[in-house]
Amino acid sequence: MQNVSRKMGWLTSSVGRKQLIGVTGLGLCGFLVAHMAPNMLILFSAEMYNKYSHALISNPLIYAAEVGLLLLFLGHLVFALRLSWMNWRARDTRYAVMSNGPKRTAWAQRSLWAQGLVILVFVILHLITFKYGTHYSVTYDGVEMRDLHKLVVEVFSEPAYVIWYVVALFVLFFHLRHGLGSSLQTLGINHPRYNCAIKVASWAYAVIVVGGFLSQPIYVYLLQRG
Amino acid sequence: MAEQKGMTLNLKIWRQAGPKEKGEFLKIQAKNIIPDMSFLEMLDVVNEELVRTGKEPVEFDHDCREGICGACSLVINGNPHGPEVATTTCQLHMRKFKDGDSIVIEPFRAKSFPIVKDLVVDRSAFDRIQQAGGFITANTGAAQDANCIPVPKKNADLAFSSATCIGCGACVAACKNASASLFTSAKVAHLALLPQGQAEREERVLKMVAQMDAEGFGGCTNTGACSAACPVEISLENIARMNRDFLAASIKHR
Amino acid sequence: MADATPKSTGKLDSKAPSGPIEKRWDTHKFQMKLVNPANKRKHTIIVVGTGLAGASAAASLGELGYHVKAFTIHDSPRRAHSIAAQGGINAAKNYANDGDSVYRLFYDTVKGGDFRARESNVYRLAQVSTAIIDHCVALGVPFAREYGGLLDNRSFGGSQVSRTFYARGQTGQQLLLGAYSSMNRQVDRKNVEVYSRREMLDLVLINGVARGITVRNLITGEIESHAGDAVLLCTGGYGNAYFLSTNAMNSNATAAWRCHRRGAYFGNPCFTQIHPTCIPRSGEHQSKLTLMSESLRNDGRVWVPKAKGDKRSPKDIPESERDYYLERIYPSFGNLVPRDVASRQAKFRVDEGRGVGPSGEAVYLDFADAIKRLGQAAVSEKYGNLFDMYEKITDENPYEQPMRMYPAVHYTMGGLWVDYNLMSTIPGLHVLGEANFSDHGANRLGASALMQGLADGYFVIPYTLGNYIASNPLPKVDISHDAFKASREDVSLRLNRLLSVKGNKTVDDIHKQLGKIMWDLVGMSRNEAGLKTAIESIRQLRSQFWSDVRVAGESNFKNSELEKAGRVADFLELGELMATDALERRESCGGHFRDEFQTPDNEAKRDDEHFSHVAAWEYAGSQGDKVTWTRNQEPLNFEYVHPSQRSYK
């Protein structure tokens, strides 16, 4: 049998594409920290929270940052979808019986793509709710700015929204916990001496980021609700 | 030898006349199965019975029956090579089953492993991946003394652990993406770990990955199902090594 | 076209060069003709079988520029049974500084083979052994190494020097994958084409010269013809004539047997090697036997109970009631006596009624002392993988109770007769590896099979084949030639005949019966009456096969029953020849033990005066179910290693 003609190139290969997903994923991990940490200000005061938001969105560099973020996100998403589609086609028939026992693998690891889709829906709703949500205004020290705090409190007073938010964050937790180690493996980082540390770090990262994000709606729902 | 009274098992065996035909499960009982039989010897019993009753026996690949040739396959109750870890189907023994058990036997399923007949699949894609670069260019007669280049024992041992892959395809069968990454990476790693393999290291990983993709295997999503199903326990570290080499080669390659 | 026929120089001319033995191969290489590099491309070479010999031959001939077509019955060349060899590969490197040399390896091999091999061939084998290791290392074969990074060696099979290179217990696998990789490189370069799942069912001769083969595509059932300028047969041994052996299920003699029926002489068919340490069979269902590496005898002690029919558990048999018979009979070699001796002694114990285990067909191999002396960890470090394998198969823990072992057919020293150039009595048909009658004489030493397969493929055939191609006019032939058509018809006819019997016995029923005859009467010890009975029984079984076999399915699909049937039909003829050869060889030597010819203390007694020769059997035709052969002889002269009685006391 003749050899199938081979296309060589980083981004046309399954490994290269997966590495792009990994790199963009790591970039998004960085974004999550940068997003979560300052938002913790909501636990302290409305003024600090709003002033920080204002500083952020009034900075002209924000547009460049948003474009960059969008590219990261789309890169991660598009290549993940393409790879999932290719993977779906590679296994064109299913088994009658699922694997079980010691040869069965973790559910969370097998469903990274599905978790990604939940997160996609979450992100779209999240943008609609907050970025493009009701524009309240507030003035501090003579400067008029958007009162995001008011919007957040309003949204997080809604139990249904909080529940959905918590659920989505749990999905994000699994996605991060497995995604981080998975990205490193994809980029070629796997060494018996450091694997344990990587595992612990992935856990810690996911717990901190998701914990931080979770604390916000819960705090608001329990203590700030009007 | 005296007739031993053995177990009765309820089998559902995949039958498919050819690559394009529709397959279905054959329900059949395996009788007088004794615990010392291997799984394939149990299928021999089934086949002998089929022949005696004028039916066509079930086709399955097998050869050495000692776990090294990689010819035997089968997905048994959802697990490639059956429930035991680090075991090929031919080394799986019937003492792992109980009288009255139901056993579903399917072929390895993947688009790149088309079914030939019944439980036999075409794994020639694996050969083509090897042909794309799984070698060291060294003509017969050209080599210098074997002890000219010392190889650190640790590297030699690691290279051996990768080279021990038997090419059975359980990794592809187990992977939800039917990815051949574990198989391909085992050869990439074996040769990358040895000084003799350095000259072609970049070229090799680029070509083998390209061929792996061209064959229609899926990509790796790091579920680890391959390694869990692998009868010789090839480690996921090989895939990381392949990824690392692939990235470096993609950047450096002219 | 008489001028197109290669020169014939008498059918059993060994073509072994004369002169000082260490110069013979070099002189011969120089005297051989060369093929113009630009012309090599125009020559198609057919290689049948892709084990160590076939894959290495295909690779090295591809490197030279020949157009090679390689055929395998498997789905991939890598499945060939060479892959299962455990122990190692010998080479006269003397890395261990313990006095090894090419001459010593040569000497040990001739002596170990009980003086029934051709000295020139054996010397060449020892000579090229070192280059094999160099080449394999260059191909990336991960041999075991010392901490300093240099190659490790071990002593193997009772050898006095450490000359065995190994890759854990999987040396055959690693060497085969090395040869496979180098063949793959030639596939990538388009010098080699691999035809998988093809079974050679006939050799095509044109004017008496091998010019092609007829194969069956095992997937579609199609009968195909392939033409070439030479045919290399690398199809392994015929141990599966015994049904139960350590060979793989698909190992068979059909390709070799079809060549034999076309005129290739069969050398020393009765020389079979029975390996002493295999896992005993557990019942009628047994499909094959599993070997446990010979290295186990380095630390394990072999024993049986002193009393006959002692059915107690080994733990309950006190030390004083055990017979460590190898240590008793051979105080100096003890448990490390050569394979044939260890096997025979195990059989004697079982025949005395002192065998152990449920079937009574086993002896104990006990590690209790080794565990006491070295500790369980050290024993596990050395033999852990073998112990695990044993436990997987038998469900018994060898750390706690002794292993049960029994000899099993393992290797066949006999095979198609070849001259020094590895060419059979059919011009153009070359035979490599275990398929030829080989350099091992009447008994092969451990770790020498891998050496011979690779020597033939990497370092002998590239030279001798060139000489054949350059010395003979090879007019172009293609598959439209009548000979190909006739061969295809023969093959189809035979397949249809197999399918049309539609009797009551399955192929395995008959194969098992043949195996029982072979094992009982042509096995570890043989005698005149038994061999005569065997010949008669095999003939009857053969008629029964052709009148009462049932082969399910059809010929135009994948049909493993039909494949098996054709192979068993050939074993039914080969089995008779093995028994006939054993009957005619009225001496004991190596693996061939005749009860009538033994020393007072039950050791093999050679008859150098009458049997210092290769028996090369010529197929003389068949009538109905009756097959006849003519026995030819190639005398063996020993100029360097003088025949002596082997003694391991």
Average pLDDT for residues A4-15, to the nearest whole number? 79
φ/ψ bin of B11: left (φ > 0), alpha (ψ from -120 to 50), beta (otherwise): beta
With respect to residue C41, please indicate whether it lies within any of the assigned structural domains: no
Choose among A203, A196, A197: nearest CA to A180: A203
Angle at C272 between CA C266 and CA C274, to 5 degrees: 170
Q: Which residues of A touch B243 (CB under 8 A)?
A: 15, 18-19, 185-188
pLDDT of residue C602: 86
Q: Which two tokens stand for residue A51?
A: 């002033």
Catalytic residue among C297, C339, C349, C354: C339
C339 belongs to the catalytic site:
yes
Length of chain C, in residues? 649
DSSP codes of every residue in C450-490: HHHHHIIIIIIHHHHHHHHHHHS------TTSHHHHHHHHH
Choose among C322, C333, C417: nearest CA to C646: C333
- For strands B102-106 and B75-76, give the pairing: antiparallel
Q: Which two tokens stand for residue C113?
A: 């083979």
- Same structural domain, C492 and C630: yes
> pLDDT band for position A112 (50/70/90)?
confident
- Same structural domain, C605 and C515: yes
With respect to residue A101, please indicate whether it lies within any of the assigned structural domains: no
- Same structural domain, C498 and C627: yes
User: In which residue are the tokens 């750390």 written?
Assistant: C399
With respect to residue C289, please indicate whether it lies within any of the assigned structural domains: yes
Q: Which residues of C touch B69 (CB under 8 A)?
A: 78-79, 81, 83-84, 248
Q: Which of C409, C431, C453 is the last residue of a domain?
A: C409
Average pLDDT for residues C151-178, to the nearest whole number? 92
- For strands B7-15 and B102-106, give the pairing: parallel
CA atoms C444, C450, C454, C455: torsion sign: negative
Number of domains in chain C: 2
Q: Which residues of B touch A10 (CB under 8 A)?
A: 247, 250
The mean of the pLDDT values for chain C is 95
Distance of CA C526 to the CA centre of its chain: 20
The one-character DSSP state at B84 is: S
d(CA B7, CA C300): 35
Choose among C93, C92, C125: nearest CA to C24: C125
**Which chains share 3+ C-beta pairs under 8 angstroms with C?**
B
User: Per-residue pLDDT tens for C483-527?
Assistant: 999 999 999 999 999 999 999 999 999 999 999 999 999 999 999
The one-character DSSP state at B94 is: G
Q: Which residues pair with C612 in a beta bridge?
A: none
* Domain of C351, in residue numbers: 275-409
Q: Which two tokens stand for residue C188?
A: 């990538």
Chain A interface, best mutation among B176, B205, B244, by max A CB count within 10 A: B176
Q: Which two tokens stand for residue C252?
A: 């068979």
- Cβ contacts of residue C89 below 8 Å, gap of 6+? C132, C133, C136, C164, C165, C166, C171, C175, C447, C450, C451, C454
User: Per-residue pLDDT tens for C559-596?
Assistant: 999 999 999 999 999 999 999 999 999 999 999 999 99
A23-30, long-range: CB within 8 Å, 24+ apart, which pairs? A23/A183, A23/A187, A24/A72, A24/A73, A24/A75, A24/A76, A24/A79, A25/A76, A25/A179, A25/A180, A25/A183, A26/A180, A26/A183, A27/A72, A28/A72, A28/A73, A28/A76, A29/A176, A29/A179, A29/A180, A29/A205, A29/A209
Residue C380, Cβ neighbours under 10 Å: how many?
15
d(CA A140, CA B197): 68
Domain of C381, CATH number, reads: 3.90.700.10
Q: How far apart are the first and last CA of chain A?
A: 73
Distance from CA of C503 to the nearest CA of B (A): 10
pLDDT of residue C645: 83
With respect to residue A103, please indicate whether it lies within any of the assigned structural domains: no
Residue A156, Cβ neighbours under 10 Å: how many?
21
pLDDT of residue A109: 84
Question: What's the Rg (C-alpha) of chain A?
Answer: 21
Choose among C207, C175, C163, C168: nearest CA to C56: C175
Distance from CA of B111 to the nearest CA of A (A): 5
- Same structural domain, C394 and C497: no
C626-630, long-range: CB within 8 Å, 24+ apart, which pairs? C626/C539, C627/C573, C627/C576, C627/C577, C629/C577, C629/C580
pLDDT of residue A6: 64
pLDDT of residue A5: 56
Looking at A8-17, A125-134, C103-112, which range is the least confident one? A8-17
* Domain of A38, in residue numbers: 14-86+112-224
- Cβ contacts of residue C297 below 8 Å, gap of 6+? C276, C277, C335, C336, C342, C365
Q: Do C151 and B147 touch (CB under 8 A)?
A: yes
Choose among B105, B73, B72, B93: nearest CA to C286: B93
The one-character DSSP state at A131 is: I
Q: Do A192 and B217 touch (CB under 8 A)?
A: no
What chain A residue is nearest to B226 in terms of C-alpha separation? A103
Q: Which of C393, C409, C425 is the last residue of a domain?
A: C409
Number of domains in chain A: 1
Q: Do B134 and C59 touch (CB under 8 A)?
A: no
Length of chain A, in residues? 226
Q: Which runs of consecutive H residues, i.e. helices, occur in C588-647?
A: 608-611
Instruction: Identify whether the C-beta of residue B90 lies closer than 8 Å to the C-beta of residue B64.
Output: yes
Q: Which residues pair with A100 in a beta bridge?
A: none
- Same structural domain, C614 and C492: yes
Choose among C107, C251, C190, C181: nearest CA to C568: C251
Q: Which runs of consecutive H residues, i.e. helices, occur in C526-602?
A: 528-548, 560-584
Which strand (E) or helix (H) includes residue A133? none
Angle at A134 between CA A131 and CA A140, to 5 degrees: 85
Query: In angstroms, what CA-CA distances link B142 with A25, C35, C137, C139?
Result: 48, 19, 12, 11
Residue B198, Cβ neighbours under 10 Å: how many?
12
Q: Which residues of C touch B196 (CB under 8 A)?
A: 137-140
Largest Cα separation within chain B, whole Å, is: 70
With respect to residue C630, please indicate whether it lies within any of the assigned structural domains: yes
Average pLDDT for residues C383-405, to the nearest whole number? 93
Instruction: Reply yes or no on whether the pLDDT at C15 is more than 60.
Output: yes
d(CA C69, CA C62): 10
User: Per-residue pLDDT tens for A199-226?
Assistant: 999 999 999 999 999 999 999 999 877 6
Query: In angstroms, what CA-CA distances link C204 with B18, C208, C397, C468?
Result: 31, 9, 53, 18
Cα within 13 Å of Cα(C437), Cβ side: 31
Q: Residue type for B239, please?
A: I
CB-nearest to B135 from C60, C75, C181 is: C181
- Same structural domain, C501 and C630: yes
Rounded average pLDDT per 10-residue block, chain B, 254 residues: 74 96 97 96 97 95 97 98 97 97 98 97 98 98 97 97 98 97 98 98 96 96 96 97 97 86
Distance from CA of B44 to the nearest CA of A (A): 23
Distance from CA of B78 to the nearest CA of A (A): 4
Q: Which of C409, C431, C462 is the last residue of a domain?
A: C409
Q: Which two tokens stand for residue A194?
A: 């450091």
With respect to residue A34, please indicate whether it lies within any of the assigned structural domains: yes
> pLDDT band for position A7 (50/70/90)?
low
Q: Which residues of A touch B225 (CB under 8 A)?
A: 99, 103, 105, 110
pLDDT of residue C158: 74
For C144-246, where are the E strands, in sequence order?
Answer: 164-165, 192-195, 198-206, 209-217, 223-227, 230-233
Number of H helices, E strands in chain B: 8, 7
Choose among B176, B180, B182, B177: nearest CA to B232: B182
CB-nearest to B223 from A14, A83, A105 is: A105
d(CA B52, CA B46): 10
CB-nearest to B111 from A18, A19, A90 is: A90
- Cβ contacts of residue B50 below 8 Å, gap of 6+? B28, B56, B57, B58, C552
DSSP codes of every residue in C238-304: -GGGGSSSSS-TT--SHHHHHHHHTT--EE-TT-EEEEEEEPPP-STT-----B--GGGGGT-EEEE
Distance of CA C178 to the CA centre of its chain: 20
> pLDDT band for position A126 (50/70/90)?
very high
Angle at C293 between CA C291 and CA C294, to 5 degrees: 115
Q: List domains and CATH numbers for chain B.
A: 7-106 (3.10.20.30), 124-138+146-252 (1.10.1060.10)
Residue that wins the pLDDT comparison between C7 and C21: C21
With respect to residue C541, please indicate whether it lies within any of the assigned structural domains: yes
With respect to residue C212, please indicate whether it lies within any of the assigned structural domains: no
Q: Do C76 and B167 touch (CB under 8 A)?
A: yes
Q: Which residues of B touch C93 (CB under 8 A)?
A: 146
Q: Which two tokens stand for residue C249?
A: 């299920």
d(CA B205, CA B203): 6
Q: Which residues pair with A34 in a beta bridge?
A: none
User: Per-residue pLDDT tens for C336-371?
Assistant: 888 888 999 999 999 999 999 999 999 999 999 999
CB-nearest to A188 from B174, B212, B247 is: B247
CA atoms C28, C32, C36, C41: torsion sign: negative
Phi and psi angles of residue C505, each rounded to the nearest 5 degrees, phi first: -95, 140
Q: Does A146 touch chain B (CB under 8 A)?
A: no
CB-nearest to A185 from B75, B222, B245 is: B222
With respect to residue A127, please indicate whether it lies within any of the assigned structural domains: yes
d(CA B209, CA A18): 13
